Amino acid sequence: MKTKIYLAPMSGVTDLPFRLISRKFGATHCFFEMLDSNALLHDHPQNRRLMKTLKKDSPISAQLVGADPSIMLDAAQKLTSLLDISFLDINSACPVKKVTKKGAGAALLKDPKKLGDMLKKLSSKLKIPLTVKLRTGFNKTNISECIKTSKICEANGAAIVFIHGRTASQGYSGDVDYKSIRAVKEALKIPVFGSGNIFSHLLAKKMLDETGCDGIIVARGAQGNPWIFKSIENYLKNGRIPKSVSLSMKIKTLKQHIVYIEKYKEMGHANKIGFMGQVAMWYLKGFYNASKIRERIHNTRSYEELITLINDVEGIAGATDISFSKIQKI
């Protein structure tokens, strides 16, 4: 059976341009950025921008965050009336304090019953599958508690459990707890996907081997590295070690990503240029003289300037330049 490899929802990252680039290089199922239930109900303009999509941006799913079951249900019903999504994920994993202090995200791990009640309320009303994203714990890992929470999710309508192999207090640092993910996988009848530190085909294989999970969800490993999806797929399929991505391909893909941002990203000019610079450094990280490139990017004030800078990377970083005109038409 083909292993399922999804692109995770990441706030400030998995916008439409990011998803389009990821799909071009093998991501078959993507998520919108995390959506806030209160903002969705109040029709916040930012939420409308986060939900921007195209027909070719499919299949796609959404992740909702919130603490109040009734608000979550209303937001979920509104969301599913606006978007054709494959399933809805309930975020019980976000470790960011501005989220957890409201009782949302990973804070729900402290109250498994409330999480279960929320899932039951939503699953009984929605016509699409409901999934849940968990962590191994809040302050510390307790395998029996982790299994208990996961079983509560399963019993109350979750169709898939996505589990990040760290606690909320760990954030994104420290080792991934494969043992807890395996314990959850062995305890549940529904599919379990592993998450955490999937930065390469080898780490993807390790996640699958160590946990026995049904699929993986790639997050930070896709930033500036959209080729990771095809690399993982090919390696799992035939054991073929992927070739290193050439500098010319990195630059070509970066330029294409920037074109998508210019075309689809709705934000003020200065913020958009700053965001383009951030994306550029994902791709150029590790290049020779990267600090010099970063300094030039920081001082860039226009779209044209940034493209010129990237064309100049040939001399700064030793990459082969590809003219802007050769990028495929979008």
Q: Indicate which residue of 94, 146, 153, 213 is catalytic.
A: 94
Burial of 37 by CB count in 10 Å (0-12 exposed, 13-18 middle, 19+ buried)? buried
Residue pair 212/193 in contact (Cβ under 8 Å)? The answer is no
Q: Determine whether 30 is an active site residue.
A: no
- Under DSSP, is residue 13 helix (H, G, I), strand (E, B) or coil? coil
Structure tokens at 114: 């409330």
Residue 27 marked in a binding site: no
β-strands 192-195, 215-218: how paired? parallel
Asked, as a colleague might, if the bond just before 59 is cis with ω within 30 of 0, I would say yes
DSSP 320: P
CA atoms within 13 A on the CB side of 168: 25
Residues 6+ apart with CB under 8 A from 137: 109, 145, 146, 167, 168
Q: Which of 206, 139, 194, 189 is nearest to 162 (CA)?
A: 194
In angstroms, the CA 266 to CA 49 distance is: 7
Residue pair 56/48 in contact (Cβ under 8 Å)? The answer is no
Residue 133 marked in a binding site: yes
Burial of 295 by CB count in 10 Å (0-12 exposed, 13-18 middle, 19+ buried)? exposed
Residue 42 marked in a binding site: no
Please report which helix (H) or strand (E) contains residue 154, including its range.
helix 143-155
Q: Which of 53, 156, 79, 171 is nearest to 113 (CA)?
A: 156
The phi, psi pair for 194, rounded to 5°, reads -95, 145
In angstroms, the CA 274 to CA 272 distance is: 5
Q: Which segments are annotated as binding site for FMN?
A: 63, 133, 164, 219-220
Known binding positions: 63, 133, 164, 219-220
Question: Catalytic residues, which ones?
Answer: 94
